[in-house]
Amino acid sequence: MSEILLDSQAFFHNLTLISQHLKTHSTSTRLALVLKDNAYGHGLREIATLARDFGVQDVFVKTHCEAKIVQSLFGSITILYGIPQEPLAPNMAIAINNKEILESLCPGQRVELKVNTGMNRNGISPDEVEEYITLIAQKGLELFGVFSHNGYGDEVGEDFALGCENFHTLKDKVASICAGLGIALPRFHMLNSSGTLRATHIDDDLVRVGIAAYGYLECDIDLEIATQLKPVASLWADRISRKILPKGAKIGYGGKSVLAQESVVSTYDVGYGDGLYRVNEHKNLHTADGQRILPRTSMDCFSCASDMPRICVFDNASLVAREFDTISYEVLTRLSPFIKRTIV
């Protein structure tokens, strides 16, 4: 059956590369790993185990369900979305974007307050920070962190620097509020992969590294370090059937592929039902060894002029993303959680 192979050495290489960058451009900033959405499609349990072995202590997941899967592996796990239906474990925190979440929590639970510093997506307004921190203290919750998201790390222009300046101003404001309330200073973080790797000075407590850990950097800025990242996941498919077909034979739905000569044609057990993009007659997608994936692909399989019993569908998601005018994130997170993941 189809399989996703996870290159542990590539993963450790990427984390080492990023860690070395942090040592050069910060004094004590920690590397935290984003594991949301099934570890960007790579497999939550598998990647979490590798991250623990590397020494990662802080991670970010999408939901409480994801948090419970990795609960025993990390010192701190922050849940980015949703309202937990049961009390959080002591090593879990919940991101706060609104008062409804606050009202659902019990005293003693950890929270991380998200603040909008220019992306205008999620997070409360900086003008509401004092009100929220006061409510957190009154409810007996632990203000574990205050964070933001700089959405301009991938872009050329002044917006990235402005977001950083806004966050530094926010940190000073939070420090003053906490001192006035007599509560401990929380941890601060705002940088994602591209923000981390382009920054020349980092003074936050941690950085939230996602896509770079998996071998990619979707960035318009020319960063040498991006060329040194290694993709972690490769998608493999096994042969279902093999046929010798004559010249002129039509293949698949609508017969959009017509053989120019007699060929061996095999079908392989990955299709759009497994998360691979549907290849039609307007797309030109090749396997890792250069064989064209013949249109039109099916829900559970694709055809290829190959005689290989197993074939690598892709080992670089960027090549698939380029053909479908998207980004590596989407290619990877689409991969079905039912495909077997194997660490190699």
Q: DSSP letters along 62-73, please? A: SSHHHHHHTTTT
Which residue shows structure tokens 């055809």? 303
Active-site residue among 23, 36, 173, 214?
36
- Strand 340-343 and strand 3-6: pairing? parallel
The answer to whether 36 is a known catalytic residue is: yes
Q: Letter for the amino acid at 233?
A: A
Asked if residues 234 and 287 have their Cβ atoms less than 8 Å apart, the reply is: no
Instruction: Output b/e per residue, 90-101; b: 16+ Cβ within 10 A.
Output: ebbbbbbbeeeb
Residue 103, number of CB atoms within 10 A of its CB: 10
The answer to whether 253 is a known catalytic residue is: yes
Active-site residue among 230, 253, 256, 329?
253
344 SS3 class: coil
Instruction: Output b/e per residue, 301-331; b: 16+ Cβ within 10 A.
Output: bbbbbbebeebebbbbbeebbeeeeebbbeb
Q: DSSP letters along 124-185, please? A: B-GGGHHHHHHHHHHTT-EEEEEE---TTTTSSSSHHHHHHHHHHHHHHHHHHHHHHHT-PP
d(CA 285, CA 291): 8
Asked if residues 64 and 254 have their Cβ atoms less than 8 Å apart, the reply is: no
Asked if residues 305 and 267 have their Cβ atoms less than 8 Å apart, the reply is: no
Which residue shows structure tokens 């941690």? 206
d(CA 340, CA 310): 15
> Would you please indicate which residues are annotated as catalytic (active-site) residues?
36, 253
